[in-house]
A and B are shown apart, each in its own frame.
Chain A
Amino acid sequence: AQSVTQPDIHITVSEGASLELRCNYSYGATPYLFWYVQSPGQGLQLLLKYFSGDTLVQGIKGFEAEFKRSQSSFNLRKPSVHWSDAAEYFCAVGARLNRDDKIIFGKGTRLHILP
């Protein structure tokens, strides 16, 4: 079964600074990988996904992520954060082998933005 780890519970960066949120997964083959964002009081919104192909994936709101098979990682990056990026970020991993496969979510990283 797959698993996903987000090592950082909280991250604080200054507005305008670059951002990297870490995500590591465990799975025997290439999984499906996702990043979602949850603003306070809201549902989750997809930022980007990786299924196959180019390992650098572009998403919405200026985010990108890179799939690194050798490191079992799928880190999320943004070159310059905005105050509106303050939210909870979830990495998720899925595998489509069996009918009852599912997506597993990491425990989330709360992003705080300093003015």
Chain B
Amino acid sequence: DTAVSQTPKYLVTQMGNDKSIKCEQNLGHDTMYWYKQDSKKFLKIMFSYNNKELIINETVPNRFSPKSPDKAHLNLHINSLELGDSAVYFCASSPKIVGVQYFGPGTRLTVT
């Protein structure tokens, strides 16, 4: 039983397209996150939600829009994809803000 799952695992698309990544956690956690990991493995937070409320919105282009339909789900929609968006995107959940984070397996996005 996967604790934090993401779909798809791989996503290859062309510049200008719109795509979504879905995340679900079955741990009953209140807080969920999106992280971006670049080619140098640097991990940077993008967004965090607590009880479906947006808490953190880092300096991310507004082409990225997270949506949390309920506490167990946090989706990421990306409009007008650019080459620089190519990265691995990780979803994570935590029982509290600034707690132990449980990561999903990641979604490798490649923009051509």
- Point out residues on A near B: beta carbons under 8 Å: 32, 34, 36, 38, 42-46, 49, 88, 90, 94-96, 99-103, 105, 107-108, 110
Interface size class of B (residues with CB under 8 A): 20 to 34
Within the complex, what minimum Cβ distance (angstroms) separates A107 from chain B? 5
What B residues does A95 contact at CB under 8 A? Answer: 98
B90 and A43: CB pair below 8 A? yes
What A residues does B40 contact at CB under 8 A? Answer: 107
**Which of B45, B48, B56, B97 has the most chain A CB within a 10 Å cutoff?**
B97
A43 and B42: CB pair below 8 A? no
Instruction: Tell me whether B101 is interfacial, beta carbon within 8 Å.
Output: yes
What B residues does A101 contact at CB under 8 A? Answer: 97-98
From A46, A94, A96, A108, give the contact of B41 (CB < 8 A). Answer: A108
B103 and A107: CB pair below 8 A? no
How far, in angstroms, from A36 to B92 measured CA to CA in the complex? 13
How far, in angstroms, from A45 to B105 measured CA to CA in the complex? 10
A102 and B100: CB pair below 8 A? no
A102 and B41: CB pair below 8 A? no
What A residues does B104 contact at CB under 8 A? Answer: 43
21 chain-A/chain-B pairs, Cβ below 8 angstroms: A32-B98, A32-B99, A34-B100, A42-B105, A43-B105, A44-B43, A44-B92, A44-B101, A45-B103, A46-B100, A46-B102, A90-B43, A96-B97, A99-B50, A99-B97, A100-B56, A102-B45, A102-B98, A105-B42, A107-B41, A108-B42
